[in-house]
Amino acid sequence: MGRNKDNKKKETGKGLGAITAVTEMYGRNAKWVNWAIVGLLFVLAFYVRVNAIAGKTELHSDEVFSMALCTCDPNYNVAVADGTYTGAQLKDMIAHSGDTGFKGMLSDLRQLWVNNGDAPHASLYYMALRVALTGYDAYDLDGYIVRGGVLNMLFFVLSFVFMYKLLRRIFGERHMLVFVGLALAYFNLLSVRNTMLIREYQMAEASVVMLTYVAVGFVQRLRAGEEIRRWRFVALFGVLMGCTVSLGYFNAFYVIGLCLALAASCIRHHRHRAILLILLAGVAALVFAFVIYPGFFNFILHPTVHKSMAFRKFSLALSVTFARDIRRLLFISYGFWIVLAAVLVAAFSKGGLKKLADGGLFMWLPLLVVACMPLIQYASILKHPRYYYCLMPVLMLLVPQSLAAMPNLWRRYFGILILLFFPILTPQIHFRDNYRWDAVRKELARPVIFYQLNPNELIQLVPNLDDNVEYTVMGKTPMTSEISQGEERLVVAKMGKIDSDKFVFVGKAIWNSNIYLFNVKYVEK
């Protein structure tokens, strides 16, 4: 028994000695070790995104719209002239509007500045994408994915850098909390899907992170009683607010909430005059947004379905936000429960709630995002999670701040668990979009008639056409001029468009549940 106790003491001593040695080594090389961990997180986050983009073989309808709108394709709003076209000809129509090369890019930028033809969106992202597509003068799916993906990766890098700076601004030398913040911000599933999507949301993410970085610096100066650099703040905060709302009108919920929170901080710290700076920055934001796109207010001035159908079914918005997006779509398996456990342990730790409300933290930032998310879904008609993709890094501030309120032992446990869970498992996921292109391509690999489709409905189908097959587009021409008595043809149309008095037809939905492929026979009754 005595020998066993001695052996256990020796083993314990060796274990403590090893831990001490590792701690001393870290102390001597802390700077380089910290940079190495940040670098590793960046490389892994970069890898998972590049891998996801490289595996992309299909486009969401909105990504097709991005191509058509940024190249000023007139057929997004104006129907293609009736006639017969090959699939290749229809595809090239959405790849350029006229001039090609550098000259075409400048021409399209001028048009995008005047009017992008898309009232629910401003032109800032379309302009950036158009520059990325310089020389893209013929339809090429892989080329478009690469160019759009590279543009998104540039904005991802910008987002990562400023998120690191934001975390350091909040936590200082508490590097474990910085690592946790980066891991959750860039290894959640919605963040990766954001970079995959060739839309404005990745650019918006970078803008939101930079805006939040400036806001946190402003509040920290208020807390420290330091002087605010007035005109620098007004210019920088105004430009970033203008960019953020120009990259998605729903982002206005976060921008307005952030401004109100800053005003509340001014009142709390008896710096009432600083509220004027926030108001001036708001005016500067609107001026900047108008200067970069004079049509910025088109979404207010012109009626759209997005306005007429907005703000309905708040209960559905709550369900979509919390039951679908946060509970099931945001994290990989068990990730939600790890995050929930961390927040609960922090809240129920001794003095945890007091620490969470501590003036040194910014727990109100993720709570602001939580409040904005259902409001965004309430205002939207499609209820897609992509509308708040850009807010995910700010939402993830919830966890490192929760860890900051925990006892040391719990903080280390959750910190190590998160760092060994998300950055290791997320890169192993095979991200793949499935928009049923394979099924649609099989149906459209033969001559069909596109009958009375809206311009943007035809554009959605164009990428699925066979280059060498001839297709007939009919908008105003009567179908009887194309189909002879007793003849059968394949027709793509919406329900109710085909005259049932002259034609016998059966069909099935092939796209978006409202576009059908009909087998039509002309048998006038």
pLDDT along the chain (525 residues), means of 10: 55 56 66 93 98 94 93 88 94 81 92 90 96 90 96 98 98 95 97 96 98 97 92 97 96 98 95 96 97 90 72 91 93 91 91 78 95 95 93 97 92 94 94 89 94 91 95 91 85 89 86 90 76
Supply 53's token pair.
Answer: 């983009």
Q: Are 64 and 90 in contact (CB under 8 A)?
A: no
Supply 174's token pair.
Answer: 């508490």
Query: How much is the pLDDT for 371?
Result: 97
Task: Look at the block and give the residue holding tokens 């400048």.
Answer: 106
Query: How much is the pLDDT for 10?
Result: 55
Domains, in order of start, for the chain: 199-428 (no CATH), 437-522 (3.40.190)
The sign of the dihedral angle between the CA atoms of 34, 36, 39, 44 is: negative
For residue 520, the cross-strand partners are 489, 505
Using alpha carbons, select from 264, 307, 256, 310 the residue that is nearest to residue 286.
256
Query: How much is the pLDDT for 191?
Result: 96
Largest CA distance in the chain: 105
Query: How much is the pLDDT for 514?
Result: 87
Q: Are 401 and 363 in contact (CB under 8 A)?
A: yes
Give Cα 424 to chain centroid, integer Å. Answer: 22
Which residues, 6+ apart, have CB-to-CB distance to 398 below 8 Å? 339, 343, 363, 366, 367
Q: Are 229 and 189 in contact (CB under 8 A)?
A: no
Rounded Cα–Cα distance for residues 391 and 397 (Å): 11
For residue 451, the cross-strand partners are 474
**DSSP designation for 330:** S
φ, ψ (nearest 5 deg) of residue 504: -105, 130
Task: Quickly count helices (H) and strands (E) in the chain.
Answer: 24, 6
Query: How much is the pLDDT for 363?
Result: 94
Task: Look at the block and give the residue holding tokens 């005595």.
Answer: 2
Which residues, 6+ apart, have CB-to-CB distance to 44 below 8 Å? 187, 423, 427
Rounded Cα–Cα distance for residues 328 and 277 (Å): 41
Which residues, 6+ apart, have CB-to-CB distance to 15 below 8 Å? none
Query: How much is the pLDDT for 77?
Result: 85
Query: In 3-state terms, the chain is what percent helix, strand and coil (to 5)?
Result: 65, 5, 30
Query: How much is the pLDDT for 144?
Result: 95
End-to-end CA distance of the chain, in Å? 103
